[in-house]
Structure 1
Amino acid sequence: MDTKIAFFDIDGTLVNVPNGLMHPTNQTIHALNEFKNQGHKIVIATARGEVPQSVQDIEFDGYICSDGHYIRFEGEILIDELFNNQQVQKQLDIYQKYNGRSMFYGHNGEWCSCLDDELVVKHREMFQGTSERPQNVYEKFDAKDIEAVSCCVLFDNAEDMWSAYHELENEFTMVPYETGLIRMDVYCKGFTKGTACEYLYKKLGIEYENTYAFGDGINDVEMLQLVQHGIAMGNAIDELKKVASEITDTVDHDGIAKTFEKYFEIPVEEGR
């Protein structure tokens, strides 16, 4: 049997926090579990720095986090690219210049000096489904204290975001967002979500024709282009739908499960 591998974005693909879908649907969980039972591999591919509890009921084989800068497969860490002190300080200086509210994420903590800022609260509501103040976040720190693999920085307007972007673009990989909350995710130069997926399936010796990916956002474009079957959710942005090999139903209406029924004969079970 030829092993297949499928990559899954989280927000807007497995869950839809703004719409109240805090966990993958039962149909999605069933489809992924059956796919694994057939001997295939399932991998998270997210901009998040860590995997939320909402998807931990599914036993994924691997995790690509921070848009490709952290890769773990079957318990082994393959890639883990942290900022050095100089890179952190440079970011802090630029963000202060353009009134950016930064949130640094690492495997051993989070660093944010503006937890009560309106934009930061809105960010929590969008991605965590709560406005409650988080615990165990470092609020007072120097650059040398931060051991982070990624930073999400929020801005009042797109002009400020792009100004910061252009001052950092030669040294960092960044994913800007002009819709919803104006923000950008920042990483070391190196992997992207798409190249991380390609790196992993090639390392595992899985043939290109046996690769699948599901996503909904701008940072999923390259991922869908670097697999054979790049599938956009029905709720995906137009830019992603244009490059997708096909478009499935929305996350709220079991789009992943319906695609798995089509390709792998895993039936969508009535009443689940």
Structure 2
Amino acid sequence: MKNQSVIFFDIDGTLLTHDKKLPPLTKEAIFNLKEQGHLVAIATGRAPFMFEGLRKELGIDTFVSYNGQYVVLNGEVLYTNPLNSLSLEKLAKTALHRNHPIVYMDHLDMKANVPEHEYIKESIATLKIDRFPAHDPLYYKGRALYQSLLFCPEGEEKQYEQEFKDFDFVRWHPVSVDIVPKGGSKAIGIQKIVKELGLSEENVYAFGDGLNDTAMLSMVKNSVAMGNAEERVQKVAKYVTKSVEDNGIHYGLQMVGLL
């Protein structure tokens, strides 16, 4: 397609409402884009197994997951960026002494290093997914992990930021923080896909609402922040659409001229 564009969508608070529902008008807009010949992709902090159902529902097989650490183009793995295993092992031992559990995550599953913890239950429950991390304290051994979750109250991640320079810590819940490789972001994952497709920056769009979307929205020329995004997220985007609850995707796609 001569004027094909690629449009990246965050999931939580962007494609899905805060009740994890996909608005009918959003679904209609996605299929409209595909009918026009555009490539629709997902860019999320979630693991691939956490949005498999959504991908099937929307017919999407291109995605940036784990905040840029596991990237798939047309069903094929294009790029991976695993965590430093030695540093992660050291971090996990430190966190256990502070009663801060860890969940290890690869592209297939996630396992907790403690049998149970209230913070894990509380935060994972908000994702409304059909799986919960089982206990396997040695899951980090012998496999590539693309993200982990550190469970601690707001502000307490600062001590880890000082101690573990191999990682970035991105808060997504009052008691949970994403652990990703230093410098890793959705923006890097998007760059890998765009380069492989050979598209110009004018043909790249991104929609998001969270703090982990700021790098993506800053980098993509045609960036759209959701109306429900924090002000600091909206400030880095070129456009601001309505909230996810108010059909912000459909409205935003009209705003940028794709619908």
Instruction: Tell me if both proteins adopt one fold, taking TM over 0.5 as the criterion.
Output: yes
Q: Percent identity?
A: 26
User: Which structure 2 residues correspond to residues 211-222 of structure 1 after superposition, within 5 A?
Assistant: 211-222=204-215
2:214–2:236 Cα contact (<8 Å) kept: yes
Matched AA of 1:260: L
Shift of 1:82: 2.7
In 1: Cα distance, 2:154 partner to 2:195 partner = 40
Matched, 1:162 2:162: no
Alignment root-mean-square deviation, CA:
2.2
Maintained 8 Å contact 1:114/1:120: no
Identify the residue that residue 11 of structure 2 maps to in structure 1: 10
* Secondary structure of the structure 2 residue equivalent to 1:203: helix
Amino acid at match of 2:114: C
C-alpha displacement at 1:92, in angstroms?
A: 1.0
Structure 2 residue 149 is matched with structure 1 residue 152? yes
Once the two structures are superposed, the pairs formed by residues 37-56 of structure 1 within 5 Å of their partners are 37-50=35-48, 51-56=50-55
Tell me, yes or no, if the aligned pair for 1:98 and 1:161 is still in contact at 8 Å.
no
CA deviation after TM superposition for structure 1 residue 90, in Å: 1.6
Q: TM-score, normalised by structure 2?
A: 0.89
- The aligned residue for residue 141 of structure 1 is 138
1:175 has 2:174 as partner: no
Runs of 4+ in 1 over 6 A off after TM superposition: none
Instruction: Report what 1:199 is aligned to.
Output: 192
Structure 1: segments with no counterpart, 5+ residues: 267-272
Partner of residue 73, structure 2: 73
SS of the residue corresponding to residue 104 of structure 2 reads: strand
Q: Deviations over 1:94-128 (max 9, x none)?
A: 32243322111112321103363111111122222
Aligned length, in residue pairs: 256
Q: Deviations over 1:174-195 (max 9, x none)?
A: 3245xx4143211234531112
Letter aligned with residue 119 of structure 1? Y
Give the match for residue 223 of structure 1: 216
Q: Which runs of 5+ in 2 are unaligned?
A: none
Shift of 1:68: 0.3
In 2, the alpha carbon distance for the partners of 1:38 and 1:143 equals 43
Change (3 A) 1:115 1:14: farther
CA distance in 1, matches of 2:186, 2:53: 21
The alignment status of 1:64 with 2:61, answered yes or no, reads no
How far 1:146 sits from its partner (Å)?
A: 5.5
Following superposition, the deviation at residue 242 of structure 1 comes to 1.0
Cα distance in structure 2, aligned partners of 1:254 and 1:73? 27
Name the CA distance, whole Å, in 1 between partners of 2:158 and 2:99.
12
